[in-house]
Amino acid sequence: MTWTLAIGERCYSSWSLRGWLLFDAFGLPVETVHAPLYTEDFARVLADFSPARTVPAAKLGDTVIWDSLALAEELASRHPDAGHWPVEPKLRAAARSMAAEMHSGFTALRSHCAMNLHTAYRDVPVPAGVQADLDRIERLWSQADGWLFGSYCAADAFFAPVAMRIAGHDLPVSTQARTYVRKHLEHPSLRRWAALGRATDPVLAEYDRDWPQTAWPEA
């Protein structure tokens, strides 16, 4: 039996990207069903994933997981060798903390700079709240030597859409943070997700901004 994952539009749904990476980047098979954001079909698709009301929502038989952090933990429990968390307890605790902090925070950055894999912007203003979020992200990423904890883990999957926000808005970050963003741009799962999204997603006007547009950074 294979997991089914309800996702929104790949170019825009950052939580869907996290959920899908928790399968694809860890070698776990998953089938996707599309729940189109901002349409009546969204609720119709999610009716099969009750009581989920957001994407991602995962289903295996009559088991449903309707939150990305719960998905990370449940997949890690069910597939202990997949590598969702570092094995070393101190690193594992830090990785879980990072994923949880991302899951519950960075609201200024998230609301100012939506993930948009169709369109990249430049000369984006950086209000104080967004700068504070970037400062915190720099602090958390400062230990990264390659991926955050050596091998790609769930904390990296949680920060993948943050990296896409920084890349797609050309936000001012350190050279080290840029290197980490580039690792995400080059990750095979991320590249496949972005290519599929760009090929199949409509451009959603809700995500248009007045900032000057630029080419999406090449991986």
Ligand X SMILES: N[C@@H](CCC(=O)N[C@@H](CS)C(=O)NCC(=O)O)C(=O)O
Binding site for ligand X (CB under 6 A): 8, 13-16, 54-56, 67-69, 103
Q: 151: which DSSP letter?
A: S
Q: Smaller CB distance to ligand X: residue 10 or 177? A: 10
Give the nearest residue (CB) to ligand X. Answer: 54
Single-letter amino acid, residue 43: A
Cα angle at 188 between 183 and 194, to 5 degrees?
95
Beta bridge partners of 139: none
* Closer CB to ligand X, 20 or 177, in the complex: 20
50-87 exposure pattern, b = at least 16 Cβ within 10 A, e = fewer:
eebebbbbbbeeeebbbbbbebbbbbbeeeeebbbbbe
Of 104 and 175, which CB lies nearer to ligand X in the complex structure? Answer: 104
Report cis status (omega within 30 of 0) of the bond before 56.
yes
Beta carbon of residue 90, minimum distance to ligand X (angstroms, whole number): 25
Report the residue number, 16 or 189, with the smaller CB distance to ligand X: 16
Beta pairing partners, 58: 5, 65
Rounded Cα–Cα distance for residues 90 and 98 (Å)? 12
One-character DSSP codes across 111-150: HHS---SS-EE-S----HHHHHHHHHHHHHHTT-BSBTTB
* Contact (CB, 8 A) for 95 and 103: no
CB of 16 to ligand X, least distance (A): 6
Nearest CB to ligand X, comparing residues 19 and 86: 19
Smallest gap from residue 145 Cβ to ligand X (A):
27
Q: How far is the CB of 55 from ligand X (least distance, A)?
A: 4
Closest residue by Cα to residue 186 from 128, 146, 145, 132 = 146
Closest distance of CB 59 from ligand X, Å: 14
Nearest approach in angstroms of CB 56 to ligand X is 6
Of 15 and 180, which CB lies nearer to ligand X in the complex structure?
A: 15
